[in-house]
Chain A
Amino acid sequence: MEIRDMTALEMGRLIKERKLGCAEAATAVLEAISSTDGELGAYISVQKDRAIAAALKVQARLDAGEALSPLAGVPVSIKDNICTKDVPTTCGSKMLEDFKPVYDATVVEKLAAAGAVTVGKLNMDEFAMGGSTETSYFGAAKNPWDPRRVPGGSSGGAAAAVAAGEAVYAVASDTGGSIRQPCSFCGVSGIKPTYGSVSRYGLVAYASSLDQIGPIGRDIRDCAAALQILSGPDGRDSTSVIERPFDFSDSFSGDIKDMVIGLPVNYLSDGIDSDVRQAVARAAETFKALGAQVEDFTMPMMEYAVPAYYIIACAEAGSNLSRYDGIKYGYRSGNADSLADVYLSSRSEGFGIEVKRRIMLGSFVLSAGYYDAYYHKALQARGLIRNAFNQAFDKYDVLLSPVAPTTAYKLGENITDPLKMYLGDIYTVSVNLAGFPAAALPCGFDRNKLPVGMQLIGKEFSEPKLVRAADAFQQNTDWHKRRCGK
């Protein structure tokens, strides 16, 4: 098998058995990047020398008999909104083009301790605001299944790189679907973990009550192996409420006969592409054939999720992004004489249009006269959405839904219509509002031979069960094994 077709766990096993060297693995990924990323645009920066040096260090630890994670020596790629010490962390923005963090994010520390080798930083929508990676200051990433199409977003670089064999697995973030939707568009697997299970220390803030770091991989087992490393308490993030890292040792039995899966039929009615609907309906049949009970139900509050999400996310974004003032770090305009002008010009020149739009929407929903009708109302709607999920989880172990209403669309198709773009988030944002975990995995192809993704949603901290359902599906289907260009 070619190195670029391996899963992370397969590669980790070969490294452990000394059939593959850590530096050899890193070199293979670096070569894949240099041969195809000029067209794909999945990376913002690649740290070749650092990666080789890190790989040699991990090799020495392994050779010394140190017991490391099953992913030791396996190259990993990191979304460019996760801080890496002395390595540029741009958030896909001109604002942070020259920013080099003075510390590693907790997840980056954890990966290094587990023996992961970071090779590069992945392209993304500016400040993770977007669903197509077209808002990146460094240029749009492309979908490896069809380079005329978007890879999704905001973690489009991550999903595209994993799908194209330019990354073995990736660590990204999900505020309203930013891990799941690009996984769906690129035919790879990913997990948005429960809020509070992975430390956000060192994740550049977009919407703090919604942001969560999670893995993207070629299959769910790779994602689980990565999430085991990423999860766990962290004293530097007071919202990190998990007691200990996830334990997935009982998640790979393939047995889901005890599970009751809820299928929200209203997610499959209006406004969804027929090929996506069919693929998800077929996945429901697969789960039935595996012995799970699948029941139709109607999920309340669906039509209120997108407005509630954008009100809350923009309010938090407006507050979080007030830190970019052109003084302490980040872009500073050369066209300003007074302090007020430094703020105004640096922000106006440093942010792209989608970021400005969301900051202004945030200012609107928090401003006197509109606060109660928009922001406060959205927080109340958030409670209703969470209640609706809790009621569903009284009956069901897992919910099965589409990830997005469509497959990957063409570059430029939606970028001029922000509302249309926002409506593409209808199946993903409610999960972030409620704080629950969800996995995205491939479940078919549409008429244009583009991947279709499905979503499995679980109760808080039910990741081991969620992975068991996803893994049972992947043990019995081969959608996740299809590679683009083959």
Chain B
Amino acid sequence: MKIDDKLIEYLENLSRLTLTVEEKEQAKIDLAGIIGYMAKLGELDTEGLPALSHPFAAGGRFREDKVTQSYEREQILANAPVKSEGYFQAPKTVE
């Protein structure tokens, strides 16, 4: 499969990533090889087969819905790269 600039830019956008010019050129080569190899699955006849998204068909196990102690605001905010007055801070999004 040919990986062109347009597809790389599309994937960058979906992934919220920007690659450098060199990274882009390398990605074209690497992704072409890997995606070409992944296409091997096309050989398989899977018509009508179920899709196994999880190793076990059984549903998840749920715990009792009980109120428990959560974390303090300061603890959670300690890991925030930028914070202000007890909140996460992000650039202004509305003018």
- B66 → A minimal CB distance (Å): 9
Does the CB pair B75–A382 fall under 8 Å? no
Contact A318 B15, CB 8 Å, known A326-B81, A377-B41: yes
The closest CB in chain A to the CB of B72 belongs to A102
**Residue A11 at the B interface, CB < 8 A?**
no
- Complex CA gap A382/B56 in Å reads 12
**Residue A378 at the B interface, CB < 8 A?**
yes
- B93 → A minimal CB distance (Å): 5
- Complex CA gap A198/B9 in Å reads 39
For B7-48 the 0/1 string (1 means CB < 8 A from A) is: 100111011111100010011001101110111111010100
Does the CB pair A353–B23 fall under 8 Å? yes
- A80 → B minimal CB distance (Å): 16
- Complex CA gap A336/B90 in Å reads 10
**Residue B86 at the A interface, CB < 8 A?**
no
Q: Tell me the total A-B contact number using a CB cutoff of 8 A.
A: 171
A-facing residues in B71-95 (Cβ within 8 Å): 71, 75-76, 78-82, 88, 90-91, 93
- Complex CA gap A342/B18 in Å reads 12
- Complex CA gap A338/B53 in Å reads 37
Chain A, interface residues (CB within 8 Å), range: 35 or more
A342 contacts which chain B residues (CB < 8 A)?
A: 90-91
- At the interface, is chain A mostly helix, strand, loop or mixed? helix
- A177 → B minimal CB distance (Å): 16
B56 contacts which chain A residues (CB < 8 A)?
A: 195-196, 241, 435, 460
- Complex CA gap A418/B71 in Å reads 41
- Complex CA gap A419/B31 in Å reads 9
**Residue A252 at the B interface, CB < 8 A?**
no
A304 contacts which chain B residues (CB < 8 A)?
A: 40-41, 44
- Complex CA gap A159/B31 in Å reads 30
**Residue A209 at the B interface, CB < 8 A?**
yes
Interface residues of B (CB under 8 A from A): 7, 10-12, 14-19, 23, 26-27, 30-31, 33-35, 37-42, 44, 46, 49-56, 58, 60-64, 71, 75-76, 78-82, 88, 90-91, 93
Q: List 6 A-B contacts (CB under 8 A).
A: A103-B71, A328-B80, A329-B81, A384-B49, A419-B30, A435-B56
| Further 19 A-B residue pairs, CB within 8 A, beyond A356-B19, A379-B51 | A100-B78, A196-B55, A233-B61, A327-B81, A328-B88, A329-B81, A330-B79, A339-B91, A347-B17, A348-B17, A356-B17, A356-B23, A360-B27, A361-B35, A380-B44, A383-B49, A383-B51, A384-B46, A419-B33
Which 7 A-B residue pairings sit nearest by Cβ, starting from the closest?
A435-B55, A235-B63, A238-B60, A332-B81, A379-B51, A329-B79, A380-B46
